[in-house]
Amino acid sequence: MQIESLELRPLRQLLLKNSSGKHYLSAASGMWMTDDILYVVADDELLLGVFSMRDNSPGQSLKILPGDLPTDPQQRKAAKPDFESLSCLPASPEYPYGALLALGSGSTEQRKRGMLWPFNQQQQLIGNAQIFSLQTLYQPLEQIFADLNIEGVTLQGNCLRLWQRANNQHRENAVIEYCLSDLYAMIAAKQDSLQIQPQRIDYYDLGEVTGVPLTFTDAYALDDGASLFTAAAENTDNSYLDGECVAAAIGLIDQQRRLCWLKPVHPIYKLEGISAKQVGDQLQVYLVSDADNSEIPAQLFETHIKYSV
């Protein structure tokens, strides 16, 4: 039986008005959205893009890390922090009004850093981004996964989930669970001597397209405990090199951690960020793309999925 594809509707290019480099994001890799604001990290930048959802005006660029990355593509790839995921911590004693959370992929030593950026009472980012080491979190995972590549982070209650991306050689997509309190403890400790062990790991086979496996590229936690995720069939043998994207899809894992469905998207874009909100009996789903080409601006897309809570 043929599975009906989801049609992507382009909403805007991710143009920037005050960037010292390119005047757009090209490799959007994680997103968080409120009613009014879209936040985007790009895996080849040191900045956070902040876009109004009320109009299509170019967004602001806020520095996550100081300095500039090399312009040479290979040197830039080696130096980039590779922020691949973006989510939001809930209000807590440490962060009374919540905070944006971004994680590096962990695929090289340079990519084992995280970012926290607190909100104030008006839900505006305050101060500067806070950078912390992910060694404590990632070292135990390197004993489990031959090619660590964390592409998504979601939070549901006190559960923190990391989404491990597979590739041609290492085909194990996985969702790795921790207590959220472990993350706060790790950040407060400011040391790498302690190692945090996962509480649970679930593995997922998403199938393949023309011999290329579909692999997690991001995820979003729904209010009912289920999770939406994006997947791409990118023809690459490891987490470092890019390859042709031959297919992309959106899927759902339910509250019992079961893979319920996987729907291809059309046209094909490598989707690396996802967010959603319930509107009636549908999910209004937003997605950002990475063309793996610095000359092509990333885009924001929209699609709709029938879904009843």
Q: What is the pLDDT of residues 77-99, one digit of tens each?
A: 889 998 999 999 999 998 999 99
What is the pLDDT at residue 20?
Answer: 62
Domain boundaries, the chain: 6-306
Q: How far apart are CA 109 and CA 274, in angstroms?
A: 26
185-209 pLDDT, tens digit per residue, is 888 886 666 788 999 999 999 999 9
Residue type, 72: D
pTM of the predicted model as reported, rounded to 2 decimal places: 0.95
Sign of CA dihedral 241, 244, 246, 252: positive
| pLDDT (average), residues 17-45 | 90
Per-residue tokens: 39: 């936040």
- Where does the pLDDT of residue 308 fall: very low under 50, low under 70, confident under 90, or very high at 90 and above? confident
Which class for 177: exposed (0-12), middle (13-18), buried (19 or more C-beta within 10 A)?
middle
Mean pLDDT, all residues of the chain: 93
What is the pLDDT at residue 1?
Answer: 37
Distance of CA 279 to the CA centre of its chain: 23
What is the pLDDT at residue 192?
Answer: 62
What is the pLDDT at residue 21?
Answer: 67
Closest by Cα among 54, 55, 51, 64 to 24: 51
Closest by Cα among 68, 81, 62, 41 to 128: 62
Query: Residue 180: is its pLDDT beyond 80?
Result: yes
164-179 pLDDT, tens digit per residue, is 999 999 999 999 999 9
What is the pLDDT at residue 240?
Answer: 66
CATH topology of domain 6-306: Tachylectin-2; Chain A (2.115.10)
